[in-house]
A and B are shown apart, each in its own frame.
Chain A
Amino acid sequence: MILLAFILLPILGAFVAWLSSAVHRSAPRWVALLVMLAGLVLSAGLWWQVQDDVYFVGDHWLRTFELPWMPRFGISFSLALDGLSLLMVVLTFFLGALSVMVSWNEIKERVGFFHFNILFVLGGIVGVFLTMDLFLFYFFWEVMLIPMYFLIGIWGHANRTYAAFKFFLFTQAGGLLMLLSILGLYFIHHSLTGTFTFSYFELLHTQMPLEANRWLMLGFLIAFIVKLPAFPFHTWLPDAHTEAPTAGSVILAGLLLKTGAYGILRFVIPLFPEASHYFAPAIMLLGAIGILYGGKLAYAQTDFKRLVAYTSVSHMGFVLVGAFAFNALAYQGVVMQMITHGISTGALFMIAGSLYERLHTRELDRMGGLWPALPKMGVVTMIFVMASLGLPGLGNFIAEFLILAGSWQAAPWITVAATIGLVVATIYSLRIMQKVFFGSSQREYTLPDLSLREMLMMVPLIIAIIWLGVYPQPVINVASRAMPSVAIHSSK
Chain B
Amino acid sequence: MQWIYLIPALPFLGALLLVLTSRRISKRGVALIGCGSVGLAALVTIIAGLQFMQEGSTGYTQHLWDWVSIGTFRIGMDLRLDALSLAFTFVITFVGFLIHVYSTGYMTDDPDFARFFACMNLFVGAMLLLVLGDNLLLLYFGWEGVGLCSYLLIGFWYKDPANGAAARKAFIVTRVGDTAMAIALFLLVQHTGSLQLSTILARAQELWSVGDPTVVLIAFLLLGGAVGKSAQLPLQTWLPDAMAGPTPVSALIHAATMVTAGVYLIARTNVLFIISPSAQAAVAIIGAITLLLAGCSAFVQTDIKRVLAYSTISQIGYMFLALGVGAWSAAIFHFITHAFFKALLFLGAGAVIVALHHEQDMFKMGGLRKSLPGVFIIFLVGSASLAALPFVTSGFYSKDQIVWLAGAAVGGSAFYSLAAILGAFITAAYTARMVFLVFFGHEKTYVHHPPGPVMMVPLYILAVLSTLAGFVELPHTLGHLTLLSDFLSPVLPAVVTDHGSVALEWGMQGLTVALCAFAIWLAWRLLAAPFPAGLKEVLKNGWGFDDAYNVLFVRPFVQLAKINRKDIVDKLYTGLAMITQRFHRMMSATQSGILRWYVMGIVMGAVIILSVIIWRQYAGHVDIKMIQR
Do A and B touch directly, given a CB cutoff of 8 Å in the complex?
Answer: yes
- Residues in chain A within 8 A of chain B (CB atoms): 166, 231-232, 234-235, 238, 293, 296-297, 299-302, 328-329, 332, 369, 371, 375, 379, 382, 386, 391-393, 397-398, 401-402, 404-405, 408-409, 415-416, 419-420, 422-423, 426-427, 430-431, 434, 437-440, 470-473, 476, 480
Partner of B148, one of A391, A423, A427: A391
Interface residues of B in 538-554 (CB under 8 A from A): none
> Could you say which of B64-72, B328-336, B509-517 contacts chain A?
B64-72
B189 at the interface (CB under 8 A from A): yes
User: Would you list the 6 A-B pairs with minimal beta carbon distance, nearest first?
Assistant: A300-B561, A408-B186, A438-B158, A392-B141, A235-B570, A300-B565
- Per a CB cutoff under 8 Å, which of B141, B179, B560, B572 touches A296? B560
Give min CB distance, B180 to chain A, whole Å: 9
Check A426 against B569 for contact (C-beta < 8 Å): no
Of the residues B151, B190, B561, contact of A409 by C-beta under 8 Å: B190
**Contact partner of A375 among B23, B69, B73, CB < 8 A?**
B23
In the bound assembly, the distance between CA atoms of A17 and B545 in angstroms comes to 63
Residues of chain A with a CB closer than 8 A to B158's CB: 371, 437-439
> Are B190 and A471 neighbours in the complex by a CB distance under 8 Å?
no
Given the complex of chains A and B, what is the CA–CA distance between A375 and B560 in angstroms?
34
Among A232, A297, A386, A423, point to the contact of B572 (Cβ < 8 A). Answer: A232
Query: Provided the pairs A423-B179, A473-B68 are in contact, do residues A300 and B77 lie with their beta carbons within 8 angstroms?
Result: no
Q: Is the CB of B67 within 8 A of A235?
A: no
Known contacts A392-B140, A402-B70, A430-B172; A408/B190 CB under 8 A: yes
In the complex, the answer to whether B65 meets A297 with C-beta atoms within 8 Å is no
> What total of chain B residues lie within 8 Å of the partner, measured CB to CB?
54
* Contact A471–B67 (Cβ < 8 Å): yes
- In the complex formed, the residue of A with least CB distance to B147 is A391
B residues near A238, Cβ cutoff 8 Å: 567
Whose C-beta in chain B lies nearest to the C-beta of A400?
Answer: B182
- Whether B565 and A405, one on each chain, are in contact in the complex, defined by CB atoms closer than 8 angstroms, is no
Chain B 41-73, CB within 8 Å of chain A: the 1/0 string?
000000000000000000000000111111101
Contacts of A434 in B (CB 8 A): 161, 164, 168
B155 at the interface (CB under 8 A from A): yes
A contact residues around B70 at 8 Å (CB): 328-329, 332, 402, 476, 480
Interface contact A426-B172, CB-CB below 8 Å = yes
Q: Which of A332, A393, A420 has the most CB of B within 10 A?
A: A393
List residues of chain A with CB within 8 A of the CB of B167.
430
B137, CB-defined interface residue at 8 Å = yes
A160-B542 Cα distance, complex, nearest whole Å:
51
The answer to whether B183 touches A426, judged by C-beta atoms less than 8 angstroms apart, is: no
The answer to whether residues A408 and B189 also contact, given A371-B158, A375-B23 and a CB cut-off of 8 A, is yes
CA distance A231 to B562 in the complex (A): 19
Within 8 Å CB of A471, what residues of B? 65, 67
A402→B68 contact, CB < 8 A? yes
B187 at the A interface (CB under 8 A): yes
Nearest CB of B to A237, in Å? 10
Q: Known A-B contacts: A369-B159, A405-B186, A408-B189. Give 8 more (CB < 8 A).
A: A297-B567, A301-B565, A329-B73, A404-B182, A422-B182, A440-B160, A473-B67, A476-B69
Q: How far is the CB of A445 from chain B (nearest CB, A)?
A: 14
Nearest-CB distance from B372 to chain A (Å)?
Answer: 33
Q: B248 in the interface, Cβ–Cβ < 8 Å?
A: no
List the A side residues contacting B141 at CB < 8 Å.
392-393, 397
Interface residue ranges, B against A (CB under 8 Å): 19, 22-23, 65-71, 73, 77, 115, 137, 140-141, 143-145, 148, 151-152, 155, 158-161, 164, 167-168, 171-172, 175-176, 178-179, 182-183, 185-187, 189-190, 557, 560-562, 564-565, 567, 569-570, 572-573
Report if A430-B171 is in contact (Cβ < 8 Å); known contacts: A296-B560, A408-B187, A473-B68: yes
For B66, give the chain A residue with the smallest CB separation.
A473
Q: Beyond A235-B573, A430-B168, A438-B155, is A404–B186 a contact (Cβ under 8 Å)?
A: yes
Measured CA separation A405–B179 after assembly (Å): 12
Complex: A231 Cα to B187 Cα, angstroms: 27
| Residue with the greatest number of chain A CB neighbours at <10 A, chosen from B65, B141, B144 | B144
Per the bound structure, the CA–CA distance linking A402 and B137 in Å amounts to 11
Q: How far is the CA of A296 from the CA of B189 in the complex (A)?
A: 29
CB distance from A166 to the nearest CB of B (A): 8
Chain A residues within an 8 Å CB radius of B562: 300
Q: Does B569 contact A430, Cβ atoms closer than 8 Å?
A: no
Contacts of A430 in B (CB 8 A): 151, 167-168, 171-172
Known interface pairs A386-B148, A416-B183, A419-B179; A405-B140 also in contact (CB < 8 Å) = no
Shortest beta-carbon distance, B170 to chain A, in Å? 10
Chain A positions within 8 Å of B187 at CB level: 408
Contact B569 A235, beta carbon cutoff 8 Å: yes
Q: Are A401's CB and B71's CB within 8 A?
A: no
Known pairs A401-B182, A419-B179, A470-B67; A426 contacts B171 (CB<8 A): yes
Measured in the bound complex, the distance between the Cα atoms of B306 and A23 in whole Å is 69
> What's the Cα separation between A470 and B66 when bound, in Å?
9
Contact of B171 with A234 in the complex, beta carbons under 8 Å: no
What are 26 A-B pairs with beta-carbon distances under 8 A?
A234-B569, A235-B572, A293-B569, A296-B557, A296-B561, A297-B561, A300-B562, A328-B73, A369-B159, A379-B19, A392-B141, A392-B145, A393-B145, A397-B144, A401-B185, A404-B182, A409-B190, A419-B186, A427-B168, A430-B167, A438-B159, A438-B164, A470-B77, A471-B65, A472-B67, A473-B67
How distant is the Cα of A438 from the Cα of B144 in the complex, in angstroms?
A: 21
Q: Chain B residues with Cβ under 8 A from A470's Cβ?
A: 67, 77
Point out the residue from B144, B148, B183 that lies within 8 Å of A419, measured CB to CB: B183
Instruction: Looking at the assembled complex, report how far the CB atom of A396 sits from the nearest CB atom of chain B, in whole angstroms.
Output: 12
* Least CB separation from B177: chain A residue: A423
Q: Assess whether A427 is in contact with B172, with CB atoms less than 8 Å apart.
A: yes
User: Closest approach, in angstroms, between the C-beta of B494 and any C-beta of chain A?
Assistant: 34
